[in-house]
Amino acid sequence: MNILQILKILAILVIMIAVFMLIPALLSLLYDEEACFRAFGITIAVMLAVSIPVLVFGRQDKKRVLSTKSSFLLVTLSWVTASLFGALPFFLSAAIPSFTDAFFETMSGFSTTGASILTQIESLPRSLLFWRSLTHWLGGMGIVVLTVAILPLLGIGGLQLLRAEAPGPTVDKITPRIAETAKILWGIYLGFTVAEILLLMAGGMDWFDAATHTFGTLATGGFSPKNASVGHYNSGFIDAVITVFMLLAGINFTLHFRMLTGKFRQIFLDTEFKVYISIFLIATAILTYDLFVNYPVYQSLGQSIRYAAFQAASILTTTGYATADFENWPFLSQTVLFFLMFIGGCSGSTGGGIKVIRVLTLIKTGLNEMKYLIHPRGVFTLKIGNRPVKKDIAYAISGFFVIYIFMLLLVTVVVSTAEHDVLTSLTTALVTVGNIGPGLGDIGPAENYAFYADYIKWFLCFAMLVGRLELYTVLIIFTPVFWKK
Amino acid sequence: MNILQILKILAILVIMIAVFMLIPALLSLLYDEEACFRAFGITIAVMLAVSIPVLVFGRQDKKRVLSTKSSFLLVTLSWVTASLFGALPFFLSAAIPSFTDAFFETMSGFSTTGASILTQIESLPRSLLFWRSLTHWLGGMGIVVLTVAILPLLGIGGLQLLRAEAPGPTVDKITPRIAETAKILWGIYLGFTVAEILLLMAGGMDWFDAATHTFGTLATGGFSPKNASVGHYNSGFIDAVITVFMLLAGINFTLHFRMLTGKFRQIFLDTEFKVYISIFLIATAILTYDLFVNYPVYQSLGQSIRYAAFQAASILTTTGYATADFENWPFLSQTVLFFLMFIGGCSGSTGGGIKVIRVLTLIKTGLNEMKYLIHPRGVFTLKIGNRPVKKDIAYAISGFFVIYIFMLLLVTVVVSTAEHDVLTSLTTALVTVGNIGPGLGDIGPAENYAFYADYIKWFLCFAMLVGRLELYTVLIIFTPVFWKK
């Protein structure tokens, strides 16, 4: 383990976050939010005070390649460190008086979950609201770089499939070096950000609302500065823009890169993309049927489609924005959304959950088993698209799924120790491990996480982190084999 | 496919069931239940009328070994045929006026699920109550023979593990032929039956109650002739007897065989048994803590243990008897029971669910994956007990788990189409596919399945069948590859 190396990279991360924190600090000046300005100032000072010495006094190592173990530790500690420092402005300004709550809100931000402990969101100072949404945006970008450029190298839970799957140039062929890849992805992310902000402003939002909602959309986070989330604006245009950008954020970013380089046809050759869009369309169709024909909630077909599509995209991509309180929807709709909570976005996107490519591989694994039962000596190759999937990868994905389900059950049990009902406990597990945000029961889209006991909030922070980092990255640290020489 | 061969075996099965049906027919005479006597008479006549011609006029084939495909079809059709004819007495006597309900009740019986559509159980004629419980007993025996002697030959979902696992003589070495094995298992089953009946009578039950409750216990079924289930008797002794026999029924029957032949030590060398008992003890401990210390429901520690142990054994073994309405228990207890609904009994027992050995293998698969992440080129053998598990078997078990979860989601969605809430829909899926019986929400231990729409009842019959026959046996019939030449 290269502890020093890890600390140095963490120090760079802390400085980068401090730089981004200058924006809300400036806003707090602008809006005359004195307590916030002081809080941001102190936080930035502390961040520089702890990180600069590490960089300056750290032994001047040659740049060494991190070991696999160190990489796991570094990635996990990155999110923890970011959340620890990121929570300080909320806490120091006394806007969120409990440090547990402040940490929860920040971890929820950086993990792009969007679960909030705030009961009155709009009463939070605007600079803090901006920082809250900015944590989404930074966390989302971190995840894209992580899953596209770093995790495949570590071989986490079958995500190496990503490379086998990519039609045409493979991920590592896009550019030879991680830094180059990261730059391109940042460029795409930034482009989407500008585009969505402009569109939302065209739809009538001011720049502040447009920016914060854009951060929440592209990170598939879900924090909104409004109590009523996106439903606040009651605008068909805004709903449409956010629906489309949520869906874009849930797509593998290497596909966006191909789109930008003019290879439009390739996106339609991508199996994961096709399945992802199909799931969205089928879910929207069932929801529309349920909301318009079966147990009418909306007056017109258009309205039904609008609300169905928004909520389906929001849950499937694990964003968690709401334009309707789906707890008041008929039960078939609720079950469809419950179902979507298991799936999540595409690999290499900012979306959480199990991921479409894994769900697809799992189904094919199960079907393949049946073929073997009928023809025990047959050879059946598992194929995604036209490409064969190695048995070891399918095996790794099954392992991932098992751990995912057990993680869900563990969180469910922990939440229920504080006497929350089974549905609340279970969907809390689903929406924290899946990084979604709102669930069913006591944590519906019109509710929040404030009522949970402190020990549950801390455990949910752990759940959000584990889910966001593809389970293994974090859990592996708790295995004895990790600490063996 | 040897259709004629299949029909002939089914005809033998029908005759066997007709013979067993003579017992309740006799009882209906004894109790002066005229309508029932007529119904049993007609049913037996019909059964003989359709089965004897098949046997007589069927071509006098040499006994041929069934093909794999034919075996799948035969096993599935056995349960369907038994349930179709078994439902007739309920329907023809007009005791259950809807054929859907009658079929549901019978499939629930033969699949040892124990989910009931009866709202007033005690108002059913006694001969029918006896027949209802007898379907459990017959179904349970069918399952033991099936899972111990037949399924391993078909290689279903990693249950061949059973043979790799068994310490000492392997299953097929107990006796060389399936018929021999079946006879021994019947002997054990019969022995347990006599023992439990006598103990329950010693506890104050009359022979009728003792017999019916014994049938429900040993099959891990759960039908009781009393509205309040086992809670009716409010006897610590009866609770203890049934708790112990439920646990015995959830153990691999080949272990019982070894016990009977004096090899007591071997049972403690069996990993699945040890894990099974540990799960039971841990669950009972948590429930006791929750019910006595955390949110006191019972006055004394003894009472808390008594009710905790009974309900834990009932759900873990997938029996479904109740001495308490656990819907009124604190939520931690409910979540623990919800958790147990996923597990089920040991392989080769009458219990349903995923099975302890599979759960154990799944967890080890997940943990093994982590070792590979740290040491990608390492070789890590998955071991159960001290025996290595072949990768293909672990892979098959993962496939089984995936199909299981998808089956649960499918049932959940279908149930919710009729506007039942998510918790009800989800636990309905868990307790039908897992062959348990009572769940949470609208189908708690104090409730029943009468309110479901007919199409849902039929689908739940399908779910019970699929769950009981280890998924693949039934589902495989719906794959195109099954019907290809």
The pLDDT value recorded for residue B62 is 54
Domain with B331 in it: 266-343
φ, ψ (nearest 5 deg) of residue B387: -100, 135
For residues B345 and B355, the answer to whether their CB atoms sit within 8 Å is: yes
Q: How confident is the model at residue A381 (pLDDT cuts 50, 70, 90)?
A: confident
Question: pLDDT tens-digit profile of A382-400?
Answer: 888 878 888 878 888 888 8
Residue A395's pLDDT is 82
User: What is chain A's percent helix, strand, coil content, to nearest 5?
Assistant: 70, 0, 30
Q: Please report which confidence band the pLDDT of residue A288 belongs to, taking 50, 70 and 90 as the band edges.
A: very high
Query: Tell me: the pLDDT tens digits for B248-263?
Result: 999 988 888 888 877 7
> Does the beta carbon of A177 lie under 8 angstroms from any beta carbon of chain B?
no
Identify whether A353 is part of a domain.
Answer: no
Q: Taking 80 as the threshold, does the pLDDT of residue A167 lie above it?
A: no
DSSP A112: T
**Digit-coded pLDDT (tens) for B196-238:** 999 999 999 999 999 999 999 999 999 999 999 999 999 999 9
Find the CB nearest A376 among B155, B331, B419. Answer: B155
How far is the C-alpha of B118 from the C-alpha of B112, rounded, in Å?
Answer: 16
User: Which chain A residues are closer than 8 Å to B76 by Cβ?
Assistant: none
pLDDT value at B174 more than 60: no
Please say if the pLDDT value at position A254 is more than 90. Answer: no
The kind and range of the H/E element at B218 are helix B207-218
Which one has a higher pLDDT value, B419 or A247? A247
Interface contact B383, partner A, CB < 8 A: no
Nearest CA in chain A to B283: A413
Q: Would an 8 Å CB–CB cutoff place A472 in contact with chain B?
A: yes
Residue B407: inside a domain? no
Which of A332, A372, A419 shows the shortest C-beta gap to B416?
A: A332
Please tell me the least confidently modeled range out of B144-153, B180-189, B256-265.
B144-153
Q: How confident is the model at residue A143 (pLDDT cuts 50, 70, 90)?
A: confident
Residue A289 lies in a domain: yes
d(CA A447, CA A190): 31
* Predicted local distance difference test score (pLDDT) of residue A169: 33
Residues of B in contact with A440 (CB under 8 A): 422
Whole-model pTM: value is 0.89
How distant is the Cα of A304 from the closest Cα of chain B, in angstroms? 18
List the alpha helices (DSSP H) in A290-375: 301-316, 331-340, 356-374
**Are the Cβ atoms of A367 and B479 closer than 8 angstroms?**
yes
Residue of A nearest to B420 (CA): A331
Of all residues in chain A, the percent with pLDDT exceeding 70 is 92
Could you give the ipTM of this predicted complex?
0.84
Best residue in A369, A406, A482 for a mutation probing chain B (most B CBs within 10 Å):
A369
Q: Is A264 a residue whose pLDDT tops 80?
A: no
Whether residue B168 has pLDDT greater than 50 = no
Which pLDDT score, from 0 to 100, does residue A59 have?
63
Strands A383-384 and A387-388: antiparallel
Q: Give the per-residue pLDDT at A153.
A: 66
Cβ distance B398 to A401 less than 8 Å, yes or no, reads yes
Q: Identify all chain B residues contacting A376, using CB atoms and an 8 Å cutoff.
A: 68, 155
Please list every residue in chain A whose beta carbon sits closer than 8 Å to the beta carbon of residue B291: none
CB nearest to A331's CB, from B400, B419, B476: B419
Averaged pLDDT, A220-241: 96
Give B-chain residues touching A362 at CB under 8 angstroms: 402
Query: What does DSSP assign to residue B327?
Result: G
Is A467 a member of any domain? no
Give Dmax (Cα) for chain A. 75
Q: Is residue A430 part of a domain?
A: no
Q: Is residue A472 part of a domain?
A: no
Predicted local confidence at residue A65, as pLDDT: 66
What is the pLDDT at residue B144? 81
Q: Give me the number of domains chain A comprises.
A: 1
Computed over every residue of chain A, the mean pLDDT equals: 89
**Predicted local confidence at residue B160, as pLDDT:** 55
Lowest mean pLDDT of A62-76, A86-100, B57-71, B293-307, name the range: B57-71
Residue type, A13: L
In a domain, B226, yes or no: no
Say what the pLDDT of residue B159 is.
59
Contacts of B76 (CB under 8 A, 6+ apart): B465, B469, B473, B474, B477
Q: Is residue B372 part of a domain?
A: no
